[in-house]
Amino acid sequence: MSNLDLESNMRKSVDATQRTFNTIRTGRANSSLLDRITVEYYGAETPLKALATISTPDSQTIAIQPFDISSLALIEKAISVSDLGFTPNNDGKIIRVNVPPLTEERRKEFCKLASKYAEEGKISLRNIRRDAIEKIKKLEKEAEISEDQSRDQQDNVQKLTDKFISQIESHLSEKEADILKV
């Protein structure tokens, strides 16, 4: 595995963690809160963003305008049964979701959730590191590279891992600050 592949895989892991962070609610309305919601549309689980235009007209409201009016009730039901705890308001054309301000207890729960997602991202990075180091050790064992080259490459893998773990930690602290900001 080349250094570029390794770095690319680690960057993808950090990006995936960042996208997961975006699904955690902060005090403001954000259309990415609804990214995980799927709607059963003509017998298939379809992502909400494929069925409607999602916008945030103000900091406390998310507006969902379906492309097909007949899917309005299905979208409303999917939001109601989701784990987000939102109550959608349907006016016949648009669904409005009021995003209430977070309580202190809820903010702490979301910080714990963000920490959990960050840890999952770090585990992913460590798995990539482990695989890379195993490949390096295999090359050394097959005498394709020297012991010194092996050690240098392993150090490089560790430095890359540390760099990307610190990126996840900085994203986490930004997210926590965002969640705790009233």
Residue 70: burial class (beta carbons within 10 Å; 0-12, 13-18, 19+): exposed
Domain locations in the chain as residue ranges? 3-22+103-180, 31-98
Return the amino acid letter for 109.
E
| Homologous superfamily, domain 3-22+103-180 | Ribosome-recycling factor (1.10.132.20)
Question: What confidence score (pLDDT) does residue 182 get?
Answer: 64
CATH code of 31-98, in short, is 3.30.1360.40
Dist CA 154 CA 174 (whole Å)? 30
| pLDDT per 10-residue tile (average), the chain, 182 residues | 82 92 78 84 88 87 90 88 82 87 85 93 95 92 89 93 95 90 72
DSSP-derived letter for residue 103 is P
Question: What confidence score (pLDDT) does residue 104 get?
Answer: 86
Question: What confidence score (pLDDT) does residue 153 get?
Answer: 92
Dist CA 30 CA 26 (whole Å)? 8
Place of tokens 């600050």: 177
